[in-house]
Amino acid sequence: MNTTRGERRAKMERWLRSADPLPERMALEAELDAALRATRAAVGTIGAAFVLEPAPWGVLHIAATTRGIVAIELISETGEFMAKLSRRLGSTVVPDGPGVPQSTREALAAARRELGEYFVGRRTTFDLAIDLNAVTPWDRLVLDGARRLSYGETTSYGALARSIGRPRAARAVGGALGRNPVPVVIPCHRILAANGTLGGYGGGGHTPRADMLDVKRRLLALEGAPVGAR
């Protein structure tokens, strides 16, 4: 009997949270393989593949291409994540599974491993290849500046603007950080408002602002960084 995308997602999330996931995983892999084959037959070449990974606040989505990690969403529905990423890349996005290029699968496995280590406090830097081909030159400049921040280090939007040679562009810096396609790995959570409060935080699709700020607060607390009051 055919299952809906929502049912497949529910099974995956049950597997992620279960103490003995093997039976669920085996059934899920078979369903994802069938979905993958059907998608490839319908639309052709795969642009990116994705996995779900547990996080302290729930489940996040990680996607990769053959060049590296291309998207991370911290709070999102799977359908929304796939549709948005497909529009951004102009290509097909599928669940990880047989038929996905080996380099893509290796990038996803590395991301799952390193993010898992980060969330339990065993990793302070990431050694992941990142695919920023779909990012504008301005956004790339801002994101490269954010990548230079160390674990537990914070700065302001204005200070980051000055560090990249655009001292009057604090607001535009905030916009670029809000479009960061790979939050956590590129640590936009380390950029705060000028008064030391949280400011904003993207990476969650249409998730309410308060929920995203709670994620930002959790990430800063994990790193032992000063946490804004709001």
SS (H, E, C) 2-42: CCCHHHHHHHHHHHHHCCCCHHHHHHHHHHHHHHHHHHHHH
How far lies 225's CA from each of 32, 91, 119, 160, 184, in Å? 39, 38, 15, 17, 14
User: How far does the chain reach from its first CA to its final CA, in angstroms?
Assistant: 49
Q: Write down the catalytic residue from 55, 94, 188, 220.
A: 188
Cα 6 from Cα 71, distance rounded (Å):
21
Q: Would residue 188 show up in a list of annotated catalytic residues for this protein?
A: yes
Contact present, 85 and 62 (Cβ < 8 Å): no
Token pair in block for residue 210:
């308060």
Phi and psi at residue 10, to the nearest 5°: -60, -40
Residues that are catalytic: 188
